[in-house]
């Protein structure tokens, strides 16, 4: 099978996500499938974070030598200079490679001289001079293997950010090492040398024709200025530091003046965390005669002789420079105000940092906290949302012990894809298990689980249940009950159980098997006056009552007495009374025999249900969303359970009156009209039920009339209706 390039890239990206996310070593030998470039072609080879062997890397590079345009070997483990030796033996070159990123220099350092076997067979004539053959053998055995960049002379972008100890640390001079690396690269335009600890004077860059030079976090850059200013084609220059102590120049105004007067094409300059924006002093006065003059207006003296204002300047942590009134740049990055924070760029930088440094808990904590604020300022597309959630989940999965990682709710933004949804659900359940003593973490996790339960359906609800979420939430509720505490964690916990069991019999059964009914009884006894809690609990009981095979477990005198008592609870709203009546309506629908073991009389319960429904206002707006009317519609033809009919037809009348645009379609699409017409025409129907049935039919007729006049009013069945999300 030969896959198209985009498909091959997609599969490779999935494999890379797997090894980057895993805390255990992943069998990267699976990458050998990509050693056949005819079947699985690649143009961008990103091996960030992989644990490879020299042989595997050489095989991959050889296979794709003619196709790859970008190669990323950031944080690759397991490779040595042997890779370059293998490539040399195979005469591998990369004619189309334009971008290379390497964070350790094994591949670019000088390999050991290659031992070449001579064709000499040992039979030397007596008269032959010995030194002729000796010199030839020595010459062959000591041939130096060409540097890796000689295999890809067309590179225009080279990134060598230093992530760990390089072989240059043992070299006499990093200039010598880099000179060998740069020498074949005649077309190099962009160079990143971030985080190199020892740069000397940087004379190795003088022969290059760079337009972009990044020297972020390279200390003592004042030594390099004379080399930097020889690169007159530079447009982008980054001299920023993460620590201000490493960004101090002995003569900052003079240094900045040199930069802007020699680099005439400069458009973007980052001097964050340096003292380059300082005011002049008697010993640092580059143009004494006309220091207050210049080409542009600027409160930063060193910039006054710019030929024109910059497009961008970075002034973060430059004392108060970003607060100056006259800064000659269109865009400013600093700490003076919100406008100086480049949110979109910051978002992607943070995401990349979190991805590349997954094992660094400090960075992951800082990154997740930063995302919490940044994403409020950025309009993200779907791919960026997925990337944000993936970064957050990876950080939390890797650092489960870091409680602070879970103290933000931005993972809410996108979890609808199956992969992200499963990871998030498993993670939340695991976190709840590990951090069950911390109230803030409990609260966040329970709220997130409830939000998930509100926005997913069917199989995904079953999946959440299969991960142990129902049992874990019940355990949290038991802890609260044992402490005699009814807080938002308990309330939202019951809301989650209500949502996760909605039209999901499997989850209802899980709840029952985990002694959920007993917990319901205990919570009601302890907190019967907590209206929100009781409403949520009765919503859950209503879901169980809708399941034919489980309803019998509610046939208990104590439960029936609770449900009956709640029929009269209509102080603030009808929700508790309505839910209780719904539970009893389903229970009485099973007939007299189902009630034979109870002391409470079925007829008495039916009378109470009818009495309660007659006290409710039909125009009451509800705090509940239905996905389907099938559980209600099944009660309509049950003349032996007139209370079931009464509650069901009242519910339809109420919902089609208050939200006809949505719910009239439910009745028509699910076969409700014939059932309602039967109620109207059958002599067994009570007058109150007949009146309500006629009202529903009238509401549907009005809705259809409006739909014929204006099709936009035609209410379609909601695809994502859910129980009220109280989080």
Over residues 206-230, the pLDDT tens digits come to 999 999 999 999 999 999 999 999 9
> How many other β-carbons are positioned within 10 Å of the β-carbon of residue 389?
23
CA distance 443 to 420: 21
Q: Which of 373-382, 419-428, 573-582 has the weakest average pLDDT?
A: 419-428
Q: Can you give the pLDDT at residue 174?
A: 85
C-alpha to C-alpha distance for 328 and 325, rounded to whole angstroms: 10
Please state which of the ranges 116-125, 190-199, 419-428, 466-475 shows the lowest mean pLDDT. 116-125
| Residues 236-250: tens digit of each pLDDT | 999 999 888 999 999
DSSP-H helix ranges across 90-148: 130-141
Q: What is the pTM of this model?
A: 0.62
**Of 236, 296, 303, 226, whose CA–CA distance to 265 is shortest?**
236
Contact 211, 190 (CB under 8 A): yes
Average pLDDT, the chain: 85
Query: In this predicted structure, what is the pLDDT of residue 132?
Result: 45
Q: Which pLDDT value is given to residue 293?
A: 65
pLDDT the model gives residue 165: 45
pLDDT digits (tens, 9 = 90+) for 69-87: 999 999 888 888 899 999 9
pLDDT band of 372, cuts 50, 70, 90: confident
In which residue are the tokens 């490679």 written? Answer: 97
The structure tokens 């990458």 sit at 31
| pLDDT for residue 40 | 92
Dihedral sign computed on CA atoms, order 81, 155, 270, 176: positive
* Amino acid 390: pLDDT: 84
Cα gap 107→109, rounded to integer Å: 6
- 392 vs 440 pLDDT, higher one: 392
Q: Tell me what pLDDT residue 547 has.
A: 93
Output the six-digit token pair for 384.
């960026």
Q: Residue 316 in 3-state DSSP?
A: coil
Over residues 295-309, mean pLDDT: 91
Domain boundaries, the chain: 343-414, 415-528, 602-727
Residue 401 has pLDDT above 60, yes or no: yes
Q: What is the mean pLDDT of residues 542-555?
A: 93
Q: Residue 186 to residues 108, 199, 205, 232: CA-CA distances in angstroms?
A: 17, 22, 12, 16
Chain segment 320-369, per-residue pLDDT in tens: 898 898 999 999 988 888 778 778 888 998 998 988 888 888 898 899 88
**Do residues 213 and 229 make contact, with C-beta atoms less than 8 angstroms apart?**
no
pLDDT of residue 151 exceeding 90, the answer is: yes
pLDDT tens by residue, 109-148? 765 555 554 443 444 343 444 444 444 444 445 567 889 9
The pLDDT > 90 percentage for the chain reads: 52
Q: How confident is the model at residue 447 (pLDDT cuts 50, 70, 90)?
A: confident
pLDDT for 112: 55
Rounded (5°) CA angle 92-98-104: 75
Identify the band that residue 168 occupies on the pLDDT scale cut at 50, 70 and 90.
very low
pLDDT tens, 597-621?
899 999 999 999 999 999 998 888 8
The answer to whether the beta carbons of residues 340 and 332 sit under 8 Å apart is yes
Tens digits of per-residue pLDDT, 682-711?
A: 999 989 999 999 999 999 999 888 876 665
CB atoms within 10 A of CB 575: 22
With bands split at pLDDT 50, 70 and 90, how would you rate the model's confidence at 542? Answer: very high
State the Cα–Cα distance between residues 631 and 620, nearest whole angstrom: 21
Predicted pLDDT at 120: 39
C-alpha span between 49 and 75 (Å, rounded): 5
Quick one: pLDDT band at residue 231, thresholds 50, 70, 90? very high
For 129, residues 6+ apart whose C-beta sits below 8 A from its C-beta are none
How far out from the chain centre does Cα 357 lie?
A: 15
Segment 484-519, tens digit of pLDDT: 999 988 999 999 999 999 989 999 999 999 999 999
Q: In degrees to the nearest 10, what's the CA dihedral of 478, 479, 484, 488?
A: -90
Q: What is the pLDDT of residue 340?
A: 80
Of 178, 173, 170, 169, nearest to 205 (Cα)?
178
Inform me whether the pLDDT recorded for 724 exceeds 50.
Answer: no
Whether pLDDT at 288 is above 70: no
């Amino acid at each position: 099978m030969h896959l198209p390039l985009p498909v091959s890239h997609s599969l490779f990206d999935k494999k890379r996500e797997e090894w980057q996310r895993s805390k255990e070593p992943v069998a990267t030998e699976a990458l050998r499938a990509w050693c056949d470039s005819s079947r699985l072609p690649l143009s961008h080879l990103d091996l960030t974070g992989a644990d490879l062997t020299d042989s595997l890397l050489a095989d991959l590079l050889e296979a794709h030598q003619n196709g790859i345009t970008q190669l990323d070997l950031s944080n690759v483990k397991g490779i040595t200079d042997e890779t370059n030796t293998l490539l040399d033996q195979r005469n591998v070159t990369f004619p189309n490679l334009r971008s290379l990123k390497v964070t350790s220099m094994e591949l670019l350092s000088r390999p050991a001289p290659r031992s070449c076997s001579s064709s000499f067979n040992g039979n030397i004539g007596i008269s032959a001079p010995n030194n002729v053959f000796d010199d030839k053998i020595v010459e062959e055995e000591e041939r130096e293997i060409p540097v890796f960049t000689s295999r890809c002379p067309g590179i225009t972008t080279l990134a060598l950010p230093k992530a760990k100890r390089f072989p240059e640390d043992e070299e006499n001079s990093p200039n010598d090492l880099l000179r060998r690396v740069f020498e074949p690269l005649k077309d190099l335009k962009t160079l990143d040398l971030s985080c190199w600890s020892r740069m000397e004077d940087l004379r190795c860059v003088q022969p290059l024709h760079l337009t972009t030079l990044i020297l972020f976090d390279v200390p003592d850059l004042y030594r390099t200025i004379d080399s930097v200013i020889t690169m007159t084609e530079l447009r982008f220059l980054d001299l920023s530091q993460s620590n201000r102590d490493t960004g101090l120049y002995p003569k900052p105004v003079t240094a900045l003046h040199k930069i802007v007067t020699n680099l005439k094409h400069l458009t973007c300059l980052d001097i964050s965390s340096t003292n380059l924006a300082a005011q002049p002093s008697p010993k640092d006065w580059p143009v004494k005669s006309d220091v207050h003059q210049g080409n542009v207006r600027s409160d930063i003296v060193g910039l006054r002789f710019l030929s024109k204002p910059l497009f961008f300047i970075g002034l973060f942590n430059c004392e108060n420079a970003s607060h100056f009134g006259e800064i000659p740049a269109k865009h400013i990055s600093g700490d003076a105000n919100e406008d100086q924070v480049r949110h979109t760029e910051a978002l992607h930088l943070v995401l990349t940092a979190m991805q590349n440094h997954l094992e660094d808990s400090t960075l992951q904590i800082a990154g997740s906290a930063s995302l919490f604020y940044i994403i409020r300022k950025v309009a993200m597309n779907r791919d960026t949302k997925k990337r944000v959630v993936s970064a957050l989940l990876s950080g939390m999965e890797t650092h489960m012990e870091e409680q602070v990682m879970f103290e933000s709710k931005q993972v809410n933004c996108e979890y609808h894809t199956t992969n992200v949804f499963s990871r998030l659900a498993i993670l939340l359940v695991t976190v709840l298990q590990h951090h069950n003593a911390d109230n803030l973490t409990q609260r966040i996790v329970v709220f997130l689980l409830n939000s998930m339960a509100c926005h997913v359906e069917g199989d995904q609800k079953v999946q959440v249940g299969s991960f142990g979420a129902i049992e874990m939430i019940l355990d949290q509720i038991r802890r609260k009950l044992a402490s005699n505490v009814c807080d938002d964690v308990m309330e939202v916990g019951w809301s989650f159980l209500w949502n996760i069991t909605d039209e999901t019999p499997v989850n209802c059964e899980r709840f029952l098997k985990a002694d959920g009914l007993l917990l319901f009884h205990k919570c009601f006894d302890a907190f019967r006056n907590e209206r929100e809690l009781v409403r949520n609990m009765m919503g859950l009981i209503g879901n169980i009552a809708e399941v034919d095979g489980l309803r019998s477990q509610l046939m208990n005198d104590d439960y029936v007495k609770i449900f009956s008592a709640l029929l009269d609870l209509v102080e603030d709203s009808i929700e508790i009374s309505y839910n209780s009546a719904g539970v009893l309506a389903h229970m009485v629908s099973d007939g007299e025999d189902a009630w034979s073991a109870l002391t409470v009389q079925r007829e008495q319960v039916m009378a109470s249900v009818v009495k309660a429904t007659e006290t409710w206002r039909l125009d009451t707006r509800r705090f509940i969303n239905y996905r389907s009317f099938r559980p209600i519609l099944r009660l309509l033809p049950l003349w032996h359970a007139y209370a079931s009919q009464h509650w069901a037809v009242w519910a339809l009348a109420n919902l089609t009156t208050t939200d006809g645009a949505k719910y009239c379609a439910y009745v028509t699409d699910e076969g409700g009209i014939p059932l309602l017409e039967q109620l109207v025409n059958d002599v067994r129907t009570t007058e109150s039920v007949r009146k309500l049935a006629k009202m529903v039919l009238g509401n549907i007729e009005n809705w259809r009339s409006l739909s014929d006049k204006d099709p936009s009013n035609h209410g379609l069945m909601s695809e994502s209706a859910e129980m009220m999300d109280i989080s």
